[in-house]
A and B are shown apart, each in its own frame.
Chain A
Amino acid sequence: MKYLGLIFANLMRSKRRTFLTVFSIAIALFLFCTLRTVITSFEASLRASQATRLVVRHAASLVFPLPLAYRERLSRVPGVTGISYGNWFGGFYQDPKNQFAQFAMDVPTFLDLFPEVILPAGQAEAFRSERTACIIGAALARKYGWKLGDQIPIMGTIFPGEWRFVVRGIYTGQTKDVDENTLFFHWDYLNESLPEGRKSLVGIYWLRIASPDLAASVSGRVDALFENSPQPTKTETEKAFQAGFISMIGNVQLLLTIIGSAIVFAIMLVTINTMMMAARERTTEIAVLKTLGFSDGLILRLVGGEALFLSLLGGGLGCGLAALVFRESDFTGGGFFPNFRVLPETVLLGLVLAALMGLLSGVAPAVQAARLQVASALRRVA
């Protein structure tokens, strides 16, 4: 540790180079964190899913609804302790580009089955008691500047026409992974307004089960119950349901990983180059240090330590910047990534990568410096 001063002095010698190197590493790690967060924000729904909740949908796909009559039969299945249901509304606010999720939910059971949706005192009651009421997530309220009592017009694409909802509650998530970009309103209101042929149809049923261990047996029982009906069901844990949804998005994760690796690799090459140039310029100095009795191992550690220090400094800056920017900005990528937040794991992974980059880029110049022949090095310059 006593040589920290020497490492530091070496870094300060060409301030411009140190600055440029640190910043290019910071940029690489900033990008790495951003891309990694795209992936983890897709997965936020997995982390937010409850182990004691099952999702029941039509076996073919979400596009096909289930009859409301299933409600009674589902709630009688042994192991089921609660049931709620709802429909994906699929509308937009003013312009199709303004994407966020809207669900028509059976309100009396909804708040009971979704304890992660937290409403301030009194708002739950206000939501329950008014037919055209809705609640919105805190992030959504910030984004469009909506307040309690505002009327929100939503254009339906599945259920045509303009629908107006009054904001009676602004919810927050129990954990940070809960999506705060959704609008929930009364399923009854939707149902009443539909023409005869489209009434009493449910997109998804949610079942609460007494314990996560019951998931497999309850799912099996439910699907067996409706197996030979015109509307067979597919029941799975909420987590499996979300995972299936994510897998539809396809190779995005792989593509982002490829791009992320290319970035880190590119900057690593640049850093290696810088470290080698720095070492080359100091050939005489290193020879002098050796003459003074510095061992090969110590020289190796000094040059390597310099690279490590540079990388960690840059990595810390880049990861920190990413965490800060995306925490402050409510960025949702046009509604595609409703939960864009840099996780602590991502920052940690970034720092580990930075350290690896530092070690790798330090190896060549450090070995070069350690192997330096004193006599020839001194002669070369003189």
Chain B
Amino acid sequence: MAVPLAYNLRNLSARKVSTVLTALGIGLVSWVFIFTLALAGGFQSALQATGSHANAIVIRSGSTAELTSIVAREAAASIESQPEIARALDGAPLATHELVVLWNLERKNGTQANVVVRGVTARSIALRPKLHLVQGRMFRPGLEEVVVGKLAEARIAHCTMGDRIKLAGRQWSIVGVFDAQGTAFDSEIWGDVELFMPVFDRPVYQSVTFRLDEPSHFGAIQKRLEADPRMSVQVKHEDEFYAAQSATLATLLRGLGLFVTLVMALGAVFGALNTMYAAVGSRTKEIGTLLALGFSRGSILTSFLIESVLLATLGGLLGLLMALPVNGITTSTMNFASFSEIAFRFQVTPTMLLSGMIFAAIMGALGGFFPSRKAARRVIVEALREA
């Protein structure tokens, strides 16, 4: 017969301070666990969501980022005339060529950031369905006007609607703010590519992006373009291109997070061991009584194990509650793969919360096992005799 659960609950509430301290310790471990996962996850999903699988991006072969890529005008024109490219309503190919430069700007907190300044065409927005203007209007081609992403607006100094920003020796009016739903574009500044080229003294584009008419046509167009001797380019699915940019840093963040939480968990398990050993030690007489009443050793072991897991789960719950407000906090860093500023939001997902809880429960089970086994192995007579 199992020892009633109420026994464990009462024991936990009888030693309130000890219960709360241990639970909080375990809770903080699972909080750090969720925190680092949310950091890495937010960063990765910002970049992953930036690209669409229906789009393909063309950059120079050998380049790992747009910044180091070069696509000549003639090459861009011939890429955009490929038959596999989807057509817009007006019959023109759904393709765009873009210029990307990095500009050193100040964040609102006074630190420096390398902001992506992207020269775009009229098709650029159509190719990014997630992106839409939330304030003002689009820039007019040929005029010194730009639109900014909402995270650039929030984090970069002098970057709000109506401000003027100095780029390449000229003053640009900010005439609109766009929302790209948390993707990398949200950290960028966009203007007219044909005006940017002479102003930034760049005779070439950095990339060409187009929509495929059929996803299955990707292989054919990739093969043809990459084999073309007039241009030396590589063709990638847009989503894979951006995902690859996040891989290094996200792996590093996850690695650091995992290392920290695993080592920290060891410390917390030691703490749980201490607490449970003390709990077992101070209840020797009770254990003797339980045994005398006829509870089996197995059910005593289970009972103490349950108590430990309950304690840890309580901690996990605390960690979970503390982790919830982290969701949505915006932070920014330099993405080493592209050398540029990317702002992103911490992303706490239900899976992370669940993993945090499971993680806490495992800590409890590990910390409770040896003390519970000790409890179950008591000899009745000796246990009852003890003070």
Q: Which residues of A contact B (CB under 8 A)?
A: 16-17, 20-21, 23-25, 27-28, 30-31, 34-35, 38, 59-64, 90, 96-97, 99, 155-158, 160-161, 230, 232, 234, 244-245, 247-252, 255, 258-259, 262-263, 265-267, 269-274, 276-277, 281, 333-334, 336, 381
In the assembled complex, 12 residue pairs joining A and B whose CB atoms fall closer than 8 Å, in A order, are A16-B277, A24-B271, A27-B270, A96-B64, A160-B62, A248-B114, A251-B332, A273-B21, A273-B22, A273-B25, A281-B282, A333-B256
Contact A263 B260 (CB under 8 A): yes
Contact of A31 among B263, B281, B387 (CB under 8 A): B263
The minimal Cβ–Cβ distance linking A160 to chain B, given in whole angstroms, is: 4
Contact B332 A250 (CB under 8 A): yes
A63→B31 CA distance, assembly (Å): 39
Dominant secondary structure at the B interface: helix
- Report Cα–Cα, A232/B281, bound state, in Å: 75
In the bound assembly, the distance between CA atoms of A334 and B336 in angstroms comes to 12
Known contacts A270-B274, A273-B275, A277-B275; is A336 also within 8 Å of B21 by CB? no
Residue of B nearest to A198 (CB): B70
Whether the Cβ atoms of A250 and B267 lie closer than 8 Å is: no
Judged by a CB distance under 8 angstroms, whether B9 is at the interface is: no
**Contact in complex: A157, B64 (CB < 8 Å):** yes
Q: Which of B42-90 contact A (CB under 8 A)?
A: 60-65, 67-68
Q: Which residues of B contact A262 (CB under 8 A)?
A: 28, 31-32, 35
- Known interface pairs A247-B112, A248-B112, A250-B111; 10 further A-B residue pairs with C-beta atoms within 8 A, sorted by A's residue number: A24-B271, A63-B114, A97-B248, A157-B65, A158-B68, A250-B113, A251-B333, A269-B21, A270-B22, A277-B18
Contact partner of A266 (CB less than 8 A), chosen from B24, B248, B282, B341, is: B24
Beyond A247-B111, A259-B35, A267-B25, is A27–B264 a contact (Cβ under 8 Å)? yes
User: Complex formed: what's the CA distance from A159 to B20 in Å?
Assistant: 59
A244–B333 Cα distance when bound, in Å, is: 13
CA distance in complex: A158, B235 (Å): 18
Find chain A residues with CB under 8 A from B114 CB.
61, 63, 248
B278 within 8 A of A: yes
* Contact A24–B67 (Cβ < 8 Å): no
**B334 near A: Cβ within 8 Å?**
yes
Contact, CB under 8 Å: B277 / A259: no
A259 touches B32 (CB 8 A): yes
A residues near B13, Cβ cutoff 8 Å: none
Tell me whether B168 is interfacial, beta carbon within 8 Å. Answer: yes
Please tell me if B228 contacts chain A, counting CB pairs below 8 Å. no
A21, B61: Cα distance in complex, Å: 56
Set A34, A64, A157, A277: member contacting B274, Cβ < 8 A: A277
Closest residue on chain A to residue B22 by CB atoms: A273
A contact patch SS: helix
B102 CB within 8 Å of chain A: yes
Q: Is B101 an interface residue (CB 8 A)?
A: yes
Contact with A along B235-279 (1 / 0, CB 8 A): 000000000000010011000100010011011101101110110
A30 touching B263 by the CB < 8 A rule? Answer: yes
Give 1 or 0 for each of B333-372: 1 = CB within 8 Å of chain A CB: 1101001010000000000000000000000000000000
Total of A-B residue pairs, C-beta within 8 Å? 172
Which single residue of chain B is at the shortest CB-CB distance from A334? B252
Tell me the smallest distance from the CB of A325 to a CB of chain B, in Å: 12
Provided the pairs A248-B341, A250-B111, A259-B32 are in contact, do residues A21 and B104 lie with their beta carbons within 8 angstroms? no
Question: In the complex the two chains form, is A248's CB within 8 Å of B334's CB?
Answer: yes
Structural contact, B62 and A156, CB atoms closer than 8 A: yes
Interchain CB contact (< 8 A) of B25 among A64, A90, A234, A266? A266
Chain B positions within 8 Å of A270 at CB level: 21-22, 25, 267-268, 270-271, 274
Give A91 Cβ to nearest chain B Cβ, in Å.
10
Name the CB-closest residue of A to B266.
A27
- Most A Cβ at <10 Å: residue of B35, B60, B270, B273: B270
Residues of A within 8 A of B193 (CB): none
Question: How far apart are B334's CB and chain A's nearest CB, in angstroms?
Answer: 4
**In the complex, A265→B268 CA distance in Å?**
11
A61 in contact with B264 given A17-B274, A20-B274, A263-B32 (CB within 8 Å) = no
A266 touches B18 (CB 8 A): no
A334 to B256, CA, bound (A): 11
Residue on A nearest B17 in the bound complex, by CB? A276
User: From residue B206, how far is it (CB to closest CB) to chain A in Å?
Assistant: 11
Interface pair A60/B101, CB less than 8 Å apart:
yes
State the CA gap A244–B62 with chains docked (Å). 29
- Find chain B residues with CB under 8 A from A334 CB: 248, 251-252
Closest to B202 in A: A64
Known: A17-B277, A61-B102, A63-B102. A273 touches B266 (CB 8 A): no
Q: Which of B22-43 contact A (CB under 8 A)?
A: 22, 24-26, 28-29, 31-32, 35-36, 39
A365 to chain B, nearest CB (A): 11
Q: Is B201 an interface residue, CB under 8 A from the partner?
A: yes
Contacts of A336 in B (CB 8 A): 252, 336
Q: Hey, which chain B residues are within 8 Å of A158, CB to CB?
A: 68
A162 vs chain B, min Cβ distance (A): 9
Whole-angstrom CA separation of A157 from B274 in the bound complex: 54
Judged by a CB distance under 8 angstroms, whether B232 is at the interface is: yes
What are the residues of chain B within 8 A of A250 when measuring CB–CB?
111, 113, 331-334, 341
* Bound-state Cα–Cα, A24 to B266, Å: 7
* Contact A230 B273, beta carbon cutoff 8 Å: no
Residues of chain A lying within 8 A (CB to CB) of residue B111? 247-248, 250
Please give me the 4 A-B residue pairs with the lowest Cβ-Cβ distance, nearest first.
A270-B271, A247-B111, A266-B28, A27-B267
Q: Are B267 and A28 in contact (CB under 8 A)?
A: yes
Asked if B112 and A244 make an inter-chain contact with CB atoms under 8 angstroms apart, the answer reads yes
CB of B60 within 8 A of CB of A160, answer yes
Complex contact A61–B104 (CB within 8 A): yes
B67 in contact with A63 (CB, 8 Å):
yes
Chain A residues lying within 8 Å of B256, measured Cβ to Cβ, are: 38, 333
**Interface residue from B168, B251, B278 paired with A60 (Cβ < 8 Å):** B168
Across-interface contacts of A258 in B (CB, < 8 A): 35
* Chain A residues, CB < 8 A from B65: 157
Instruction: Tell me, rounded to whole Å, the shortest Cβ–Cβ distance linking A69 to chain B.
Output: 16
| A61, B267: Cβ atoms closer than 8 Å | no
Q: Closest CB of chain B to A346's CB: distance in Å?
A: 16
Cα distance A263–B268 in the bound complex, in angstroms? 10
Q: With both chains docked as a complex, state the minimum distance between the C-beta of A12 and any C-beta of chain B, in angstroms.
A: 16
Is there a chain A Cβ closer than 8 Å to B139's Cβ? no
B172 interfacial contact with A, CB 8 Å: no
For the complex formed, measure the closest distance between the CB of A176 and the CB atoms of chain B, giving whole angstroms: 23
Q: How far is the CA of A336 from the CA of B14 in the complex (A)?
A: 50
B103-120 contact mask (Cβ, 8 Å, vs A): 1 or 0 = 110000001111000000
The CA-CA distance from A258 to B36 in the complex, in Å, is 11
B280-318 vs A, CB cutoff 8 Å, 1 = contact: the mask equals 011000000000000000000000000000000000000
Residue among B201, B266, B268 with the most chain A CB within 10 A? B268
Contact A276 B62 (CB under 8 A): no
